[in-house]
Structure 1
């Protein structure tokens, strides 16, 4: 069966066609008394970015290096200190997912159904494997396997040394899905995957055998659009608990060991979550940021002043919550009450990739290929 794929913008437009005002991005109010400010350590143009296409390309920060790739086939390694280029390679690949890291390699997925491993030190290609369908999630390594997902619902386990196929798991995708996949979560010999069918599964990373499976959201409704239940929000593991969210409207916490449900609540999300202490933070499909009690799921606060601004997954950075948006802004939210307490604009194009943290710096990649390294600075009283 032919698989239909839609972007989130198309879904929201169709859902609210009768009320255009509902999807109008919120206008930004000034942060009159900022409590957090940023300074730019450096900023670089690292290529074509997503080249106007949907791509799950992110910055990969490892110790003193940051790796990037663009949709036109260029891959780079930069020094985190000042952003100096360590190496740069041009290829004929059309990268759309990654980079991931594993076994001394930078791992990337392509529009043409390939997974490619590059040496982290030299940038030389080590291997290439064809998986027959577009790779929309970053390949992830663990236990000698590179686990990768394709748009048609398959999961592959590849030999991390040479890319040879070791196993394949196949769960046919529904007739209509969102364009995007959550990355595999590889931990302790198991790989956990959120599926477009509304399920979460745990696979043995070495063999691909199913350890457990749990339904997050069952499809309902008459139309294929109404029945979209993709578990596209990035899975989050914390203290043995697995946090999952479906576009179908359920946020569910499971035991990472058994898949047993701990709690659930109604909340529609497709980006991801962050946790700190006793609070879980999540961006919903409308752009409202929520703080929930990590034990019960009860709402602590919600912040809707950034609605429909295409917010990223929230990240915890130096005691505050950070989200990026479609105009290249970073917003700083207070974890106590959700107030916007700071703002910076490191790019002029959309920030769709989750910001990355390494040490005292925040790394942001925009869709036009702008890569910025930011630090916080004291605010004068």
Structure 2
């Protein structure tokens, strides 16, 4: 027992050191201008962004807290324990509840079951009215949002285990574990449930497609392989949300690559680019978008991976993963700004500030605009014209 505890403490200490080195504004930033955030510059406005509505959902935010949008409803949770469902068109609260104790991740929903993760690896499911359905215990702490669909609530815990609980009863349906590295990132990561498959990225640089009903791995592919002499150098987590465009399944890693696989041909790699992202990627029918470690935003051709453009004007501004709306590509930054870039050439088209707190939660693109969960606990719909 003593050995296990020592290893846990050591791993936490190493993780903390790793996070310090990955911070966008490090303790050495003031000694090296190349790490300073780029100042905001003037540009020719190409879109108009405005706040359609703002709704308080609780207190705080963070990488493990991402809004979920289903039809005309948006779900959100905060570390302080608040969980709510709002009308996407108006921001009106449809239901809201406060759970005892702190939350570590949320929210996932299929419209019938809404799930969050609480301290100690507790998974909590709520029904359509926001009342508690059940609680279950994962094998360890959960710090990425649960994925809900196909009759399951799936979580990925800190011991690199993926577990699925029955959405109706909370009974454990299956559990799957892969060997994990000594060190992993704490950043934006999400799993998807699509057509009966759970799509998950792992800290070992791999993407997996798992049968949601029984936990059988249907496909597994390497986005990147770890390299380097130290634990920090070998970090190659799949970050952000796996992207699906037609037959293509795409992912990006930290200190690794961006790859698109063709799932209609056995999951063979179609193209790859040497790349490193801290927060993930976004796609549309033509391009794959991602910000690199220095927050330079890149666009690659979706079918062949050739670089289309890059935008350096937001360097070191600690950007979120890009999301795509019809008018532009949107990213949030450390000063509470949402920036809009041209999908065709990367030019800055617009920006809007939603407060001074850093935007860490992933943005969500909707037909009505971009949903943003701010660092202060507000949910905001930004309309774009």
TM-score scaled by structure 1?
0.91
User: SS of 1:338's equivalent?
Assistant: coil
Choose 222-231 or 360-369, whichever is displaced more.
360-369
SS of corresponding position for 1:104: coil
Match of 1:198?
205
Aligned equivalent of 2:138: 131
Which residue of 2 is the match for residue 253 of structure 1?
260
Q: CA deviation at 1:134?
A: 1.5
Equivalent position to 2:248, from 236, 241, 248: 241
Counterpart-to-counterpart distance in 2, 1:135 and 1:362: 26
Match of 2:119 in 1: 111
Mapped to 1, the partners of 2:28 and 2:262 lie a distance apart of: 39
Structure 2 counterpart of 1:163: 170
Distance 1:300 1:358, change over 3 A: closer
- Equivalent residue in structure 2 for 1:303, among 308, 311, 317: 311
Alignment partner of 2:35 out of 20, 23, 27: 23
Q: Which residue of 1 aligns with 2:4?
A: none
Aligned residues: 372
Give the equivalent residue in structure 2 for 1:56: 64
1:42 is matched with which residue: 38, 53, 57?
Answer: 53
Name the TM-score, length of structure 2 as normaliser.
Answer: 0.90
Return the match for 2:22 from 1, 5, 11: 11
Cα contact 1:202–1:212 (8 A) shared by 2: yes
Task: Show structure 1 runs of 5+ residues with no match.
Answer: none
Which residue of structure 1 lines up, in the alignment, with residue 339 of structure 2? 331
SS of 1:57 mapped into structure 2 = coil
Match of 1:172 in 2: 179
Report whether the alignment pairs 1:346 with 2:354: yes
Residue 254 of structure 2 aligns to a residue whose secondary structure is coil
Distance 1:45 1:169, change over 3 A: same
Name the SS of the counterpart of 1:286 in structure 2. coil
CA distance in 1, matches of 2:243, 2:88: 26
Corresponding residue SS for 1:305: coil
Q: CA deviation at 1:55?
A: 4.1
| 1:136–1:181 CA contact under 8 A, matched in 2 | no
When the two chains are superposed, the root-mean-square deviation of aligned CA atoms in Å is 2.2
Query: How far apart, CA to CA, are the structure 2 residues paired with 1:59 and 1:232?
Result: 17
Q: Deviations over 1:153-184 (max 9, x none)?
A: 00001111111111100113211111146222
Contact 2:114 2:148 in 1 (8 A): no
What secondary structure sits across from 1:112 in the alignment?
Answer: helix
Quote the Cα distance in structure 1 between the aligned partners of 2:269 and 2:99.
45
Judging changes above 3 Å, is the alpha-carbon distance between structure 1 residues 61 and 201 closer, same or farther for their aligned structure 2 residues? Answer: closer
Q: How does 1:88-107 map to 2 (within 5 A)?
A: 88-102=96-110, 104-107=112-115
Match of 2:285 in 1: 277
Q: State how far apart, in whole Å, the 2-side matches of 1:12 and 1:55 are.
A: 13
Q: Secondary structure at the match of 1:22?
A: helix
In 1: Cα distance, 2:384 partner to 2:202 partner: 37
1:98 deviates by 1.9
Taking the aligned partners of 2:339 and 2:80, their CA distance within structure 1 comes to 30
Partners of 2:45 and 2:198 lie apart in 1 by 41
Q: Give per-residue Cα distances to partners, 1:274-322, cap 9 Å, x unaligned.
A: 2223222112222111111112111111001101111111111132111
Structure having the larger proportion of residues in helix: 2
Deviations along 1:24-74, whole A, 9 cap, x unmatched? 11111123x311122222212221123xxx541122233333222111111
Partner Cα distance (2:140, 2:359) in 1: 26
**Segments of 4+ moved more than 6 angstroms:** 13-16
Q: Distance in 2 between matches of 1:250 and 1:55?
A: 21
**Superposed displacement of residue 17, structure 1:** 5.2
